[in-house]
């Protein structure tokens, strides 16, 4: 073990020397007083992002990343495999990132880590963005899209069994009764079948949930997955009424979200990257999303104040007087830190949080949050265009067994995200003068070349596959909730056979793949099942009681299962440590998803109902002033800025009144949403100053 550590240290030093870093950056700061040492448990994307944000926000931080396996990056794993005329790239896990919402963080990383030059951007006009299919009951059905035209969309809506009952269900939703207020949560299936109709769930929505959670619509929580619709039913009478209200009043944002957006707005975007991201639906990297992991790791190595301990599973984390003590398996000594950030799954965290020396049967730190196993089978065929142009297709729960005996969840057409040699050939471009093109892009005028955009032009545009002639690249997704009770999972050959059988039945593909890769990702997607929010609140209380703010949690089990959500939870945790706020990483639970009462609700949130504060691009024509807020452009009407300031003032006033009254429902870390604590108030939130808002004007 010691030998490994020495080797690691040596590797880091050599890497530092190779990168030509000044000596000061190669070693830890010697000033112990100034440093803030933090342990990160888990070297997946959440752990790496936490380390990244820590080093960015706390210059004197020292970080140690503990990772059980011998590689970092977790589920993000891209491999290049040989084929007859070159190599193709296979992704075992996530393959693309969206730049909107929390995705502003991944878009920022492109700039901060100098990864934009390696990126491939798929445009809104690309087949990947326009064409999505659902397989029901025995054929592919294209989902409605404006590019198809009204007549074709209507024809499909009224003739395809997949839509049966749904258009009427949406119209009549206005007249459906509200739920009983005593209902605290229900499944997505129950919620939407009550509001819109059962077919909408079984034939459509369950497919979408397969594509994100690989989960069961009848188990997943409506309150956690559809917080806006859940709230709208309670507040405005229904989902559609909520949509109408939002159109009229503008989008409401919680304080937490508002702060995030304000922060995003401060970012100084490289104009060329911004122009390239414009009208972009998703992006990836030439070496796959593994490139993001490598970019983060490179950056952290170069920083010199981050230590990677791979093959070092953590065995315990204990609260001590001085901070928090972390022990790794195989290491005799435990190390003390001021904070620890757990980027482990809840079950792993429970294992390490148990005190091995105590016999007491303490209830686990985090209540059980189930997860599913997904098998991804990547296949590459010599023949091109073996599928329709598009993103791929999802298979809903109602698809009859005889149409899907393999119980596949969906198929991704990876070729759609991967430019072909034809796309790279300048002769096929709409504009061939690359200088003109770059000038236009710098002005944000034109970024679209054959449905892809590249930042690195006029250099040779990036592609993932290095082949002379393009073939067809696909990924079959299997498992998820269908495998929940299975005692064991199919092996590699069985997985391959299942995938080939799906493709033969659905796409008529009979040829043998030239290359394939079977990946089993055990327990990779946490399931936010009914009651999820309550479980998170319990976890928050327990973690706070046991670790008093020394241990924070981040990851995909709290507020979103995607890569962008992992980045966001890492960002949130680091910000709260940086600002000296108490917390666990779960203190926001319920503030974004529970029913909003504006200033009458939990007091922990505010909304801006007087004006359309955040207006997204689709209605930008109504905005009197535009503020570029990340790549997706955020437009703020001038009056709205005033509304924001006024709302903020009202909120502050409101809090003062509550304080004077002596009680307050609070986001105090010991109880995020439910407790009423008495004065003196313990404010744990950072309230942005009015100047922050004035600065917007």
Distance CA 348, CA 340 (A): 15
For residue 98, state whether it binds ligand LM7OVKF4 (rule: CB under 6 A).
yes
Tokens representing 473?
């690249």
Secondary structure of residue 220 in the 3-state scheme? strand
Distance CA 212, CA 219 (A): 14
Tokens representing 63?
């970080």
Minimum CB separation from ligand LM7OVKF4 for residue 128, in Å?
A: 9
Query: For ligand LM7OVKF4, which is the closer residue by CB, 170 or 212?
Result: 212
For residue 666, state whether it binds ligand LM7OVKF4 (rule: CB under 6 A).
no
Query: For ligand LM7OVKF4, which is the closer residue by CB, 76 or 300?
Result: 76
For residue 396, state whether it binds ligand LM7OVKF4 (rule: CB under 6 A).
no
For residue 631, state whether it binds ligand LM7OVKF4 (rule: CB under 6 A).
no
Binds ligand LM7OVKF4 (CB under 6 A): choice among 376, 472, 559, 599:
376
User: Total binding residues for ligand LM7OVKF4 by CB under 6 A?
Assistant: 20
Q: What is the DSSP string of 117-166?
A: GGEEEEETTSHHHH-EEEE-SSSEEEPP-GGG-HHHHHHHHHH-GGGTTH
Query: For ligand LM7OVKF4, which is the closer residue by CB, 211 or 323?
Result: 211
Minimum CB separation from ligand LM7OVKF4 for residue 96, in Å?
A: 4
For residue 503, state whether it binds ligand LM7OVKF4 (rule: CB under 6 A).
no
For residue 392, state whether it binds ligand LM7OVKF4 (rule: CB under 6 A).
yes
Length of the chain counted residue by residue: 697
For residue 549, state whether it binds ligand LM7OVKF4 (rule: CB under 6 A).
no
Q: State how far Cα 661 lies from the chain centre.
A: 40
Tokens representing 402?
């005889």
Query: For ligand LM7OVKF4, which is the closer residue by CB, 78 or 166?
Result: 78
Query: For ligand LM7OVKF4, which is the closer residue by CB, 227 or 410?
Result: 410
For residue 225, state whether it binds ligand LM7OVKF4 (rule: CB under 6 A).
no
For residue 509, state whether it binds ligand LM7OVKF4 (rule: CB under 6 A).
no
Query: For ligand LM7OVKF4, which is the closer residue by CB, 281 or 462?
Result: 281
Distance CA 570, CA 555 (A): 7
Query: For ligand LM7OVKF4, which is the closer residue by CB, 328 or 379?
Result: 379
Cβ distance 609 to 251 under 8 Å? Answer: no
Q: CB-based contacts of 339: which residues, under 8 Å, 6+ apart?
A: 36, 38, 39, 323, 324, 550, 551, 552, 577
Binds ligand LM7OVKF4 (CB under 6 A): choice among 73, 313, 562, 585:
562
Residues from 450 through 489 that contact ligand LM7OVKF4 (CB under 6 A):
477
Query: For ligand LM7OVKF4, which is the closer residue by CB, 93 or 258?
Result: 93
For residue 517, state whether it binds ligand LM7OVKF4 (rule: CB under 6 A).
no
Give the chain's largest Cα–Cα span.
75
Cβ distance 56 to 356 under 8 Å? Answer: no
Residues from 226 through 265 that contact ligand LM7OVKF4 (CB under 6 A):
none
Angle at 85 between CA 424 and CA 413, to 5 degrees: 60
Minimum CB separation from ligand LM7OVKF4 for residue 205, in Å?
A: 14
Q: What are phi and psi of 677, to 5 degrees?
A: -110, 150
Strand partners, 91: 78
Query: For ligand LM7OVKF4, which is the closer residue by CB, 95 or 685?
Result: 95
Minimum CB separation from ligand LM7OVKF4 for residue 562, in Å?
A: 3
Q: CB-based contacts of 80: which residues, under 8 Å, 6+ apart?
A: 87, 88, 89, 90, 287
| Residue showing the smallest CB distance to ligand LM7OVKF4 in the complex | 410
For residue 374, state whether it binds ligand LM7OVKF4 (rule: CB under 6 A).
yes
Per-residue string for binding with ligand LM7OVKF4, 179-218, x by CB under 6 A?
A: -------------------------------xxx-x----
Residues from 18 through 57 that contact ligand LM7OVKF4 (CB under 6 A):
none
Tokens representing 86?
């070159």
Closest CA to 686 of 192, 258, 284: 258
Tokens representing 401?
């067994």
Question: What's the Cα-to-Cα distance from 511 to each of 384, 385, 395, 504, 508, rounded to whole Å?
Answer: 12, 13, 23, 9, 9
Would you state the torsion angle of the CA atoms of residues 489, 490, 496, 500, taken in this order, to the nearest 10 degrees? -90
For residue 93, state whether it binds ligand LM7OVKF4 (rule: CB under 6 A).
yes
Question: What's the Cα-to-Cα distance from 244 to each of 171, 232, 234, 251, 597, rounded to whole Å?
Answer: 13, 11, 15, 11, 18
For residue 502, state whether it binds ligand LM7OVKF4 (rule: CB under 6 A).
no
Cβ distance 340 to 324 under 8 Å? Answer: yes
In sign, the C-alpha dihedral spanning 52, 58, 60, 62 is negative
Note the residues at the interface with ligand LM7OVKF4 (CB under 6 A).
93-96, 98, 210-212, 214, 374, 376, 392, 394, 409-412, 477, 561-562
């Amino acid at each position: 073990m010691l030998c490994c550590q020495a080797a690691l240290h040596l590797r880091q030093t050599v890497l530092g020397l190779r990168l030509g870093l000044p000596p000061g950056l190669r070693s830890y700061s010697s000033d112990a007083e100034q440093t803030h040492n933090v342990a990160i448990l888990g070297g997946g994307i959440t752990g790496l992002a936490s380390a990244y944000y820590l080093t960015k926000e706390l210059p004197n931080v020292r970080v140690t990343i503990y990772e059980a396996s011998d590689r970092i990056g977790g589920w993000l794993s891209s491999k290049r495999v040989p084929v007859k005329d070159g190599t193709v790239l296979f992704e075992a896990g996530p393959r693309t990132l969206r730049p909107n919402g929390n995705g502003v963080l991944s878009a920022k990383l492109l700039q901060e880590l100098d990864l934009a030059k390696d990126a491939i951007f798929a445009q809104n006009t690309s087949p990947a963005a326009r064409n999505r299919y659902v397989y029901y009951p025995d054929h592919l059905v294209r989902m409605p899209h404006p590019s198809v035209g009204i007549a074709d969309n209507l024809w499909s809506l009224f003739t395809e069994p997949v839509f049966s009952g749904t258009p009427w269900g949406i119209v009549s939703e206005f007249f459906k009764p509200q739920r009983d207020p005593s209902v605290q949560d229900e499944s997505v299936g129950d919620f939407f079948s009550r509001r819109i109709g059962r077919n909408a769930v079984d034939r459509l929505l369950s497919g979408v949930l397969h594509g994100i959670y690989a989960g069961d619509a009848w188990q997943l929580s409506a309150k956690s997955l559809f917080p806006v619709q859940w709230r709208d039913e309670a507040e405005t009478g229904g989902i559609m009424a909520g949509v109408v209200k939002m159109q009229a009043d503008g989008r409401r944002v919680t304080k937490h979200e508002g702060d995030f957006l304000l922060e995003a707005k401060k970012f100084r975007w490289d104009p060329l990257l911004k122009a390239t991201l414009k009208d972009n639906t998703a992006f990836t990297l030439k070496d796959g999303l593994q490139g993001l992991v490598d970019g983060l790791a490179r950056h952290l190595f170069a920083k010199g104040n981050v230590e990677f301990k791979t093959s070092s599973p953590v065995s315990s984390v204990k609260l001590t007087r001085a901070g928090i003590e972390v022990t790794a398996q195989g290491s005799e000594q435990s190390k003390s830190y001021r904070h620890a950030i757990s980027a482990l799954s809840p079950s792993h965290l429970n294992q390490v949080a148990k005190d091995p020396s105590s016999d007491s049967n303490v209830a686990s730190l985090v209540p059980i949050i189930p997860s599913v196993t997904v098998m991804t089978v990547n296949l590459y065929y010599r023949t091109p265009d073996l599928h329709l142009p598009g993103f791929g297709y999802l298979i809903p729960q109602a698809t009859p067994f005889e149409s899907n005996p393999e119980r596949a969840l969906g198929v991704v057409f990876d070729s759609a995200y991967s430019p072909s040699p034809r796309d790279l050939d300048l002769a096929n471009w709409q504009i061939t003068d690359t200088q003109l093109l770059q000038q236009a892009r710098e002005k944000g005028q034109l970024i679209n070349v054959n449905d892809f955009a590249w930042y690195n032009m006029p250099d040779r545009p990036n592609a993932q596959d290095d082949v002379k002639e393009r073939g067809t690249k696909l990924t079959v997704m299997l498992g998820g909730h269908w495998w929940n009770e299975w005692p064991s999972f199919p092996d590699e050959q069985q997985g391959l056979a299942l995938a080939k059988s799906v493709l033969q039945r659905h796409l008529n593909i009979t040829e043998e793949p030239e290359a394939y890769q079977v990946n089993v990702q055990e327990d990779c997607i946490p399931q936010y099942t009914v009651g999820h929010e309550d479980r998170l609140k319990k976890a928050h209380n327990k973690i706070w009681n046991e670790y008093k703010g020394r241990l924070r949690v981040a990851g995909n089990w709290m507020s979103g299962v995607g890569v962008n959500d992992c980045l966001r939870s890492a960002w949130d945790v680091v910000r709260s440590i940086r600002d000296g706020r108490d917390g666990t990483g779960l203190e926001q639970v319920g503030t974004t998803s529970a029913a909003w009462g504006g200033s009458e609700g939990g007091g922990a949130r505010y909304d801006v109902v007087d004006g359309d504060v955040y207006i997204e691009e689709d209605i930008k024509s109504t905005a009197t002033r535009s503020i570029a807020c990340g790549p997706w452009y955020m437009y703020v009407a001038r009056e709205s800025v005033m509304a924001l300031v006024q709302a903020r003032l009202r909120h502050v006033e409101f809090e003062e009144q509550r304080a004077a009254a002596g009680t307050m429902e609070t986001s105090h870390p010991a109880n995020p949403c439910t407790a009423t604590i008495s004065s003196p108030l313990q404010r744990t939130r950072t309230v942005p100053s009015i100047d922050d808002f004035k600065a917007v004007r």
